[in-house]
Chains A and B, each alone.
Chain A
Amino acid sequence: RKEVEQDPGPFNVPEGATVAFNCTYSNSASQSFFWYRQDCRKEPKLLMSVYSSGNEDGRFTAQLNRASQYISLLIRDSKLSDSATYLCVAFLAEGGYNKLIFGAGTRLAVHP
């Protein structure tokens, strides 16, 4: 079983739609979580951190359910520029080292 699992998609949605991505993690010791955005052939960039019960940043809302070991990302009013791959990431401090565990990503394509 992968440590961080995501639906690979692609999610094809029209502009203005609301879309939600889900992510599950297997290590209950994971302390915090992130969503990174990765454009095609580019490096990942931090989109949002998810610390306690979740947080919101403009059109983006991230939720965390520790009991179910589940994280979600909601994008409202989708824009063409939101088209990218969204990586779910778990943070784990292990043996004095801060480790990021990446999911394989969910691809989003927003069309006119």
Chain B
Amino acid sequence: DGGITQSPKYLFRKEGQNVTLSCEQNLNHDAMYWYRQDPGQGLRLIYYSQIVNDFQKGDIAEGYSVSREKKESFPLTVTSAQKNPTAFYLCASSIAKTGTEQFFGPGTRLTVL
């Protein structure tokens, strides 16, 4: 089955710890995205990547970092510099050049205690 997987589904961390969220896709999509969703708000873009070894900051990149070493994988690290990390994190992918539609993974719910 083709799709996007994110792990883990739920994640708990202590304040001050870095944490890495996994995102893998086997759709052969060039572009990948990370969003965060908070209650009552729309999805906000954290980082995106249109090609391997290249990525760009989105609207709320502070306190986050990413890498894109493989086409299939786009992990997101939530660092201790992120002031309000508790949120629902969604990874998405699209065919880059024509990619108006984005396909989402099931999400990771991060809670920082």
B59 to chain A, nearest CB (A): 9
Residues of chain B having any CB pair with chain A under 8 Å: 31, 35, 40-45, 48, 50, 56, 88, 90, 94, 96, 99-102, 104-107, 109
Q: How far is the CA of A49 from the CA of B48 in the complex (A)?
A: 22
Interface residues on chain A, size class: 20 to 34
Q: How far is the CA of A103 from the CA of B100 in the complex (A)?
A: 16
Residues of A within 8 A of B99 (CB): 98
Residues of B within 8 A of A4 (CB): 42
Stretch at the interface among A37-45, A60-68, A69-77: A37-45
Q: Given that A34-B101, A98-B100 are known contacts, is A105 also in contact with B42, CB under 8 Å in the complex?
A: yes
The total number of A-B Cβ pairs within 8 Å is: 49
Q: How far is the CA of A102 from the CA of B106 in the complex (A)?
A: 17
* Residue A22 CB within 8 A of the other chain: no
Q: How far is the CA of A102 from the CA of B42 in the complex (A)?
A: 5
Q: Hey, what's the 0/1 contact readout for A68-112 against B, CB within 8 Å counting as 1?
A: 000000000000000000010001000011111111110000000
| Beta-carbon contact of B45 and A98 below 8 Å | no
Q: How far is the CA of A49 from the CA of B45 in the complex (A)?
A: 20
Q: How far is the CA of A102 from the CA of B90 in the complex (A)?
A: 13
Contact of B43 among A45, A91, A97, A102 (CB under 8 A): A102
